[in-house]
Amino acid sequence: MKPFLLSLLVGSSLAAAEVSSVVKQELPSLVTLYKELHANPELSLHETETAACIAKELREAGLEVTENVGGHGVVGVLKNGDGPVILVRTDLDALPVKEQTGAPYASTKVVKDDLGREVSVMHACGHDIHMTSFVGTARALSKLKDQWQGTVVMIGQPAEERVLGARFMLRAGLFSKFPKPDKAIALHCSSDMAHGTVGIVEGFALANVDSVEIVVKGVGGHGSMPHLCKDPIVLASQIVLALQTIVSREVKPGDPAVVTVGSIHGGTKSNIISDEVRLQLTLRSYKKETRQQLVDSIKRIVKAQAESANMPADKMPEVLLSDDRATALYNQPELCQEVRQYIGAAIGAENVITREPVMGAEDFSEYGMTKDKVPLCMFWLGTQPPTVVAAAKEKGTPLPSLHSPYFKPVPEPSIETGVRAMTSAVIGLLKK
Question: Under the rule (CB under 5 A), what is the footprint of Zn ion?
Answer: 125
Burial (0-12, 13-18, 19+ Cβ within 10 Å), 108: exposed
For residues 18 and 275, give the distance between their C-alpha atoms in angstroms, rounded to a whole number: 68
- Nearest distance from C-beta of residue 328 to Zn ion, angstroms: 15
- Nearest distance from C-beta of residue 358 to Zn ion, angstroms: 12
Mapped onto helix, strand or coil, the DSSP state of residue 272 is strand
Nearest to 37 by CA among 21, 25, 23, 53: 53
- Nearest distance from C-beta of residue 153 to Zn ion, angstroms: 20
- Nearest distance from C-beta of residue 362 to Zn ion, angstroms: 7
Residue 331 CA neighbour count, 13 Å, CB half? 29
Residue 55 CA to its chain's centroid (Å): 21
Q: Are 189 and 129 in contact (CB under 8 A)?
A: yes
For residues 233 and 223, give the distance between their C-alpha atoms in angstroms, rounded to a whole number: 12
The sign of the torsion formed by the CA atoms of 387, 393, 396, 402 equals positive
Cβ proximity to Zn ion: between 125 and 193 the closer is 125
- Nearest distance from C-beta of residue 221 to Zn ion, angstroms: 44
Cβ proximity to Zn ion: between 134 and 342 the closer is 134
- Nearest distance from C-beta of residue 312 to Zn ion, angstroms: 43
DSSP state of 323: S
Cβ proximity to Zn ion: between 125 and 135 the closer is 125
Cβ proximity to Zn ion: between 70 and 344 the closer is 70
Cβ proximity to Zn ion: between 178 and 364 the closer is 364
Cβ proximity to Zn ion: between 23 and 125 the closer is 125
